Structure 1
């Protein structure tokens, strides 16, 4: 009887932790999508013909730099160091830079993206403004490529800021 109580309590705790983890990941995914939308839709876009990133709203990027907290610090860093009006880059090189620099073990994930047609799918998702799909591709590759201990370092909320910063900083690469 006592063993049954411990088992059911343990199962309830495990189920609750699973739900909490899924909720946390979903919230972090939403944050990452919002960061991509900001930099690739609100503050700029990818030219469908040239596949180059075109920054369009430096006022919005500046406003983001004035938000209190970490988001503002990241925005200020981006604005002060990387927003150059004439800068455009090749999309494949741009996405490479973002993936490698934004994700823990980004080089490993980049190699996994190269092993399949996932890179083109990722580029197409970004170009078509399907940010949910872009984040899903990166998360899926991370889950398939990284060990459990490495995956623990894969915090989507933290990575969202990295994606946003690298979306700007990679313009120069």
Structure 2
């Protein structure tokens, strides 16, 4: 009896595996092209593996950003925002902290919820500075607070206007004639 059961189970297993294999075969042109891409990628990886870095200059720059703007000692640190318009003229703001884009949010733009019992929907992780970004909308509009008066300031980039950010007054010649655009002048603050 045990022998018959084992034989039946073996036949059923072979049939299930056989049907599964044929059910998974996809002869579509998209499947063939995807397979060709994967084979090509596998061949390139085998012939030209990516080197593993010994040191990351990107991580070094991120860590320096954190040391400049993300430590307790950075609280109240001033930023110097130089704006250039389409005519090549410069102006500047002196702000407490960094200018912030309207795309930065203090709360998550979504929340975790069940996907009808088949798992959880992932939510985005916060940015490096503990905030979230909505990623669309008025991302080219920035705001901040004046260094001496705490006045709210806002500026928009685009249409041939860009900005340059420094953690101290710039000594570059192109900024020497920049006009004061907010309540505080560079001379009003102690860098």
TM-score higher than 0.5 here?
Answer: no
From the two aligned structures, give the one with the greater strand fraction. 2
Normalised-by-shorter TM-score class: under 0.3
Q: Which has the larger radius of gyration?
A: 2
Higher RCO structure, 1 or 2 (CA under 8 Å, sep 6+): 1
Greater helix proportion: 1
